[in-house]
Every structure is written in C-alpha cells, then in structure tokens.
Structure 1
Amino acid sequence: MDSAELRKIGKSAKSASRGLATLSGTTRDKAIQNIADRLVSSKSEIVVANARDIEAGRDKGLSESVLDRLLLNDERIETMARDAVSVVSLPDPVGETIEMNTMPNGLEVSRRRVPLGVIGVIYESRPNVTVDISALCLKSGNAVILRGGSEAFYSNTVLADIIRGAIVDAGISKDAVQIIGSTDRKFVSEMLKMDEFIDLMIPRGGANLVARVAREASMPSITGGVGVCHTYIDESASLDMAVDIVFNAKVQRPSVCNALDTMLVHVSAAPDYLPKIATEFAQAGVEMRCDTRSMSILGHREDVKITPAAEEDWDTEHLSLTAGVKVVDSLDAALDHILDHGTGHSEAIVTEDNSSATRFLNEVDSSAVMVNASTRFNDGGQFGLGAEVAISTNKMHARGPMGLKELTSYKWIVLGDGHIRE
C-alpha cells in the first residue's frame, strides 16, 4: 500500500457516501442484517484470525488487559451480531424533520437530518469496533474508513471482508466500508490530513492516540473519550449496594473506558465499607492503591494487594484490575477531587440522600453522571442507542455515547411560492 492508494480509498469513500445517503432505510437495514448473519455463520473463520492476533500479542508481551480487549470468542461474536441487529431496529435518522415553522411571510422553514458524509475511525485493540462502527455508519447513511491497530490486524481484516461482502449483497457499494490494509503508522498521519475526503475523525484508544488526533487532524474530530472514572460512597449509602456497584464497575470488564478507576469513600462510611469491598476485591485479584487513611483502616491483609497510592494514580486510567482508594471528609471534597482529576467521562454516587444525589448530578461536569448505578452503564447499547461509535467527552456536537443522531448533521429546507426578499 502507498500514499496514492490511500487517497484512492478516500476518493472512493466520498463517492460511495453520496450514493449511500440517498438509499432507502430498508436497503441500509438489509445490509446491516446481512452483516449480523455473516458474523454468526463465519465464527470459526473469525476465531482463527483472532487467534493469530492473540498469539502475536503474547509474543510481543502485551498486557492481559490489552489481550482481553483484543479477544474474540463465540460469545463476543454473537454479541457483536446482536448489537448489529439492535441497530436495524432503531429509527432511521436520515431525512428526519427536526423542526418546521411557517414564517410570517408564508415561507415554510425546516431542518432535515442528513449524513455527515465520510467518517474516519482510528482505533486500537478492540476488533468489535470494526463491526459496531460499520453498522452505525451504514444506518446513518455515512461511508467509513477504518484504521485498526496492528495488534488486531488479522481480526480486523477478516471482519472488514465479511462486512464488505454482506453490504454488496444488499446492493450497497463495497467502498462504503473500507479498511486501511497496512500497519505502517505513516498512513495514520496521512489519513489525518485527508480533510477533502473525510468529514469527521474519531479516535478510539488511549490518551496518546486521542492527543495525536487532536494535534494533527485537519478535519473536525472527537478528541475526548479517555476515562478516569470515579464512584463516591456517600455517608448515607447502603454499604451492600455500594459493594455491588463498585465491584461491578471495576471487575465486570476492567479494560474499558467506563470502568472504575478511583473510589472515594466518605470518612464515616469508610471503617465499615472498606473491609467489605476489600474482601470482594481479593476474590477478583484487584490491587487497591490507597491513600494514608484508607491504608490505616484496612491494615495488613494477606488476601488482597494493598499499596500506597502515588499522586499520579489519581490521574490514571488503569484499564486493569487496579483501583485507587481515597477517604474524603465530605461530598464537597469528593466533588473537588473529581473536578481536579476527572476527565469528564463517567462518575457515580452511591447514596440514600436525595439532596446529595441532586448536588452530585448538578455539579459534576461529565458526559454521564449516575446515582446508585455502575459507571459501566455509560454505553450506547445500555442507553438505547444500539452500538456506539465512541464515547465523547467533548461538549460540542456530541457528548457521551455517540449513536446514530450524533453521526448526522442537518440542512435547512425552505419552501416558498415565488417569495422574494424585500
């Protein structure tokens, strides 16, 4: 692959996007259903390709958390297929009239939802992103150019081949979904300058990737998404509920962006709560990085790894079975900590006090703020959006899980009857 071929991909994607935007919702839904069916029927082929990536990853010394993000098995493939089907069932956003008004002079003015055009996505490790984003882009009438990480090269390649074959069978150009068939990083830099072809760039990965896109992209980009996520255990919290919520937020899938990184515990709840959660964490192999007061409460324990927290731990997205633990004197102190160390992603409070819950909801400035629920719920599927293209911590255009409507823009429609402006 060379630079000329990359530009050819951009040009053909732009051309495909024009045709895709005018296709019926039925045709686009058929393509997505075909993808879901092909995923299920191609499980063995996908697992074989994924095994090559896993083996190569182990040889390179990739961490277990990265390997978990990379892994595809029968269950995860079936989940990808179900997520694609859920997109089919969502309302078609293309052509939706957002609002309509008749002006005093009789002009009918409305806004109509339209696709963005071509979406570029650069992502790391998680090959399910290939399917999730393709389904959302097709449903919203957008073409997509995908550039996955080198660690998932074989998985992404076979998934892209399956997707392209499935959409052709529905009457959609295979150029509506394209993947960069090279692991050479120079093509990332070139892709970030292709604003004549790509209308929006979305990075899915760690802080370094997000920062690079923010720095280099010549087109609009979604440059949030790094999650340093907190759960605050209020003095009025049900401790059993707090144990369940924090354990789920940390352990259910620790390698994703909405997993818990730091729990903040009110000083009056800490003596009873911390030993309870430590016992649960011990069974899952969670390392607790504790401030001085939480270490004093927990004391020496053989069943769980407890280490002193360093200052940088409060700013770290762990993506692993590691949790920061800090005792705070008040809700105000918890809010201050989140303001200083949060990334605007996902924050939760566990409380039985309505006033504390209300203050937390009103004062925490994040894409999703939760009361008595795990931060793991900040997810497009869980919010009824179907599969998500990203979780944005930006405040412009889109915030939180980006589903179908976040992949559209609008145009003004003006209907007159010989109107001229005086």
Structure 2
Amino acid sequence: MTNLTTMGQAARAAATQLAQLTTDDKNAALLAMAAQLEAATPAILAANAQDLAAAATAPTKFLDRLRLSEARIADMAAGVRAVAALPDPTARLDAGWVTHAGLEIQPRRVPLGVIGMICEARPNVTVDAAALTLKSGNAVILRGGHEALLTNQALAAVLQAALASCGLPQTAVQLVGDPSRASATALMHLNGYLDVLIPRGSARLIQAVVQEATVPVIETGAGNCHIYVDAAADLAMAERIVVNAKVQRPSVCNAAEKLLVHEAIAKKAVPRLAQALTEHGVALRGDAAACALWPAMTPATEADWETEYNDLIMAVKVVPDLNHAIAHINRHGTRHSEAIVTNDYAASERFLNEVDAACVYVNASTRFTDGAEFGFGAEIGISTQKLHARGPMGLAQLTTIKYAIRGSGQIRG
C-alpha cells in the first residue's frame, strides 16, 4: 500500500512553501496547469477511455460522472483560469482594531494547510481541488476511486508537470496510487499531517468517512433535494424549474429528487408536471394522492422519501400546505438545496427562514448550487454541515484566521 505517512510529510513541506507564495506566483502556476491540461487532452482521453471500458457495465449515472470529453477538459481548463482570475483570499486584510491595552490586532486569512480528499468516479474533482488548494495556498492529497484510477493518474501527472515548470513542489498535488479500502482508511487516520479531510461521492461514502475518520472532516455532497410548488405558483415557471432541476444533469448532487405540490393546485399541477417530466424520460413515484392524479406513477415507498436517486427518477407528494412542505423537507432532506416556486412573498420568506439547508431557493432551479455559478470559480465540495463552512466551498472556505498582534512592550496586569 502507498506510504501515506511519507506523502503526508511531503505535503506538509509543500504547504509550508505554498503559504509563502505571492498571488502572481500562484496565478502563473494555475495558468500553466490550464495550458497543460489542454495540451494533454489526447493522453487524458485515452486514459479515460480505458477506465470507461473497464466500467462499461456500470449504471449510466456513474458513467456520466466518469466520462471526459474534449469539451469537459476544456471546461476544466477554463475553470482553472477562472480560479486564477479570482482574488487571492490570503492577500486580503480584514479590518483591524486597537485594544484598551494599546495592542494592534490584525486578522489575516491563512491556508488551512494540507487537505485530503476521498472521491469516487469524479475526475473533475482532481482538477478543481488542485486549482482551489493552490490558489488558497494549501497542499492536497487526493484518493480517487479505482474506476477513475487511470484518468486521475493522467490528470495528476499533468498538474504536477505544470507545478514543476513553475519551480513549485510537485508534492503540492499528490494522488494516492492505491485505490483500495485500506488506503482510504489510512487517509482517514492521517493525524498530524492532514488538517482536514473532504469526501466527495455517494451518501454511503460520505457517512463512512464522517463516522470513521479521526482527522477533521467536512461533510459534503449528498443531495436529496426538493422542489415545493406552492398554491400561488406560476405553473409555467414551475414546469421549467422542475424539469431543469431534475433533467438537466440528473447524476449530480444538486439535481432535484422530490417534488412536493400544494393540494389546492394539485389537480392542475400534478398532471402537467408529470407529463413534462415523463416526456423527458423521468420515472415517477408518488404518494396515494399523486398516483390518483397520474395513475402511471409507481406507488412510492417510505424509503423513496429518503433516497438520492442520481438518476431520471423523481418522487411526487401532494401536501396540505406550506407547513407540511417545510416539515417534510426538514425531516427527509440532506440539508443541501431546497426550492419553492411561488408568487406569495410571505410564503417565500417563511420557506427561506424555516427550511434548514445550505442553499434555499425561491423561483429558481436547485441546479445553481455550484461554485462556478456562485462566482467562486470552482468548488472543492458542497458542505451540508454548519462548521466551518456551508454550501459551495470556494477559496475563502479553504482558509482560516490568524491574528497578527503588535505591541510596544505591553504586559497584562
């Protein structure tokens, strides 16, 4: 098995060096990464083709996350350039103050240090993580799933070559070559070297990391997301939002999985929305009231309300009112992204205030929960917890505070 202690030591040394880089140094390395990703597109696609061939019998939703194309690699490179164009969080100085003792206190943003990531068949995470950690001055150790091993190795080699071309340590971005369960477990226990561990993948993976790791963990990702169509909804708007949230890319964590409809408009809304979703290939599962209005639905089980499908499947429930919608979401949701469609301002404000989730929308698709869409350039994950970050995690969320305190000989009496 890969010697993770050695990798941790190298990452710690690299992090110390990265923390001292200027913004120009970091941006130059990021632009080199973007250029080399584009230049290495044929080699990356060849590696990805081998991974796809080995996983040919996997579900469509899995293959969608694994598959790269020229366009997706170009998007990766564009994302890296977008990160380079963003303000450097470690260059920002927050407002300081002077204490009663005459001490000048200045908060500074500093890198977290060494970030570990465990992810499944998501090669884009390798590039996003490398870009965000470099710009924020952190080193990263990545452990991907065995299904994406060759793709990740090709990407890591490109990123490390770009670092070397700029005179920076290649160990700022490291990939664990052993995709076994044992390597994941070892990374979860790399105390003394990892400052934080971020899992990206299925709910099962995330919970395994949260429960087993002894290093600090930021819980991310699982998205049992709801859209509630209120009595005061514009049904044309609701149709556009629901179809987009479910269909545009069903395999990702910000896709909507559940549709709640107010009973006052259910006779019109359920058939209309069900028809639109069915035309896009969505298999529907409903409660008794929804099935009565659209008999082609499969009756939902209790497990359906807890399930993140990551597929063209959606469960539909008719609810008596806003109170029941909010209660259902807070009981079954994963604190990721939730939406209401309504023209009732009071209802929208109650939904914003009372739904417990990282991102809560009024009259918009949940698909916007994304670092790039939020203006962060990219994201290292979407945190569904409350400490120390929540929602899409960009550059600022990969830093912490150091207080610089200047005195003139003060002592405390």
Please, what TM-score do these two structures have when normalized by structure 2? 0.98
Q: Which amino acid aligns with 1:418?
A: G
Aligned to 2:346: 355
Does the 8 A contact of 1:366 with 1:393 survive in 2? yes
2:110 partner amino acid: V
Pairing partner for 1:15 from 4, 13, 18:
13
Superimposed CA distance per residue, residues 52-109 of structure 1 (whole angstroms, 9 cap, x where no aligned partner): 1111111xx3100000011101111111111111101110011422230011232101
Task: Determine the C-alpha separation between the residues in 2 that align with 1:397 and 1:78.
Answer: 32
SS in 2 for 1:270: helix
* Cα shift readout 1:138-195 (whole Å, capped 9, x = no counterpart): 0000000000011111111100000000111122100100000112221111111111
Which ranges of structure 1 fall in alignment gaps of 5 or more residues?
301-305
The one-letter code of the counterpart of 2:70 is D
1:115 aligns with 2:106: no
Query: In structure 1, what is the equivalent of residue 195 of structure 2?
Result: 199
How many angstroms apart in 2 are the aligned matches of 1:415 and 1:349? Answer: 50
1:337-363 per-position Cα deviation (integer Å, ceiling 9, x unaligned)? 101101111000000010000000000
In structure 1, the residue corresponding to 2:356 is in which secondary structure? coil
Q: Specify the SS of the correspondent of 2:199.
A: strand
What is the correspondence of 1:282-361 to structure 2 with a 5 Å cutoff?
A: 282-300=278-296, 306-361=297-352
1:38 counterpart = 2:33? no
Percent identity reads 46
Query: Which stretches in structure 2 are left out of the alignment for 5+ residues?
Result: none
- Give the Cα separation in 2 of the matches to 1:238 and 1:95: 45
Q: 2:229 pairs with 230, 233, 237, which one?
A: 233
**What SS is found at the alignment partner of 1:97?**
coil
Shift of 1:225: 2.4
Please say which of residues 395-404 and 90-99 is displaced more in the overlay: 90-99
Q: Which moved more, 1:280-289 or 1:15-24?
A: 280-289
How many pairs are equivalent? 413
Of stretches 205-214 and 352-361 in structure 1, the one that deviates more from structure 2 is: 205-214
Contact 2:229–2:340 (8 Å) recurs in 1: yes
Measured after TM superposition, the shift of residue 224 of structure 1 is 3.7
Q: 1:332 and 1:283 mapped to 2: Cα distance?
A: 31
The answer to whether residue 378 in structure 2 is matched with residue 382 in structure 1 is no
Which amino acid counterpart does residue 259 of structure 1 have in structure 2?
A
Aligned to 2:54: 56
Q: Give the residue type in structure 1 aligned to 2:324.
A: A
Structure 1 stretch displaced more, 76-85 or 273-282? 273-282
Classify the secondary structure of the residue corresponding to 1:220: coil
Asked if the contact 1:27–1:171 (Cα under 8 Å) also holds between the matched residues in 2, the reply is no
* 1:94 match: secondary structure: helix
Contact 2:4–2:190, Cα closer than 8 Å, also in 1: no
Within 1, Cα distance between the matches of 2:119 and 2:63? 15
- The answer (yes or no) to whether the contact 2:220–2:381 under 8 Å persists in 1 is no
Alignment check: 8 A CA contact 1:113 1:410 kept: yes
Match of 2:405 in 1: 414
Match of 2:160 among 157, 164, 167: 164
**Structure-1 residue corresponding to 2:79:** 83
Contact 1:120-1:146 at 8 Å conserved across structures: yes
d(CA) in 2 for partners of 1:351 and 1:40? Answer: 44
* Deviations 1:173-219 (CA, angstroms, capped at 9, x unpaired): 00100000112221111111111111000000111211111122111
1:47 shift after superposition: 1.1
| Aligned counterpart for 1:372 among listed residues 352, 363, 378 | 363
Distance (Å, rounded) in 1 between the aligned partners of 2:86 and 2:45: 29
Q: TM-score, normalised by structure 1?
A: 0.96
Q: Indicate the RMSD between aligned Cα atoms, in angstroms.
A: 1.1
Q: Matches of residues 211-222 of structure 1 in structure 2 within 5 Å?
A: 211-222=207-218
